[in-house]
Amino acid sequence: MPRRHERARERPGPAIPVERPLTATPAWAQAGGAIVRAVTGEKGKTYRCPGCQQEIRPGTPHLVVIEEEDVEARRHWHTPCWKRELRRRGFTVA
């Protein structure tokens, strides 16, 4: 008797994971006196992270932090660097 194989087009596809949108800011990232926004990095610019002094290359999701409502002083942070900065400032990070 011949073997029965399901054709690839007849098989159900993998389940699509439910993730937060790339532009949604995680709750742990908020800090007193600062506005934090998650960005996708699609702008095509290279930024320098103040936490590690390394480049944030285009296409890399990261956080934009605006402290004390001073838009001109906004900084682009790697997500792990911002977590480290929050711990240094005494905030609890999940």
Q: At residue 73, what is the residue type?
A: A
The mean pLDDT value of the chain amounts to 83
CA proximity to 47, closest of 66, 68, 62, 69: 62
- pLDDT tens, position by position, 22-57: 567 888 888 878 889 999 888 889 999 999 999 999
The answer to whether 76 touches 56, Cβ cutoff 8 Å, is yes
Where b means 16+ CB within 10 Å and e means fewer, 26-52 reads eeebebeebebebbebeeeeebebebe
Above pLDDT 70, what percent of the chain? 77
Pull the structure tokens for residue 44. Answer: 């095509």
User: Is 64 within 8 Å of 74 (Cβ atoms)?
Assistant: yes
Q: Which residues contact 20 (CB under 8 A, 6 or more apart)?
A: 26
Domain boundaries, the chain: 17-88
Q: Which residue type sits at 38? A: A
Structure confidence at residue 6 (pLDDT): 64
Say what the pTM is: 0.71
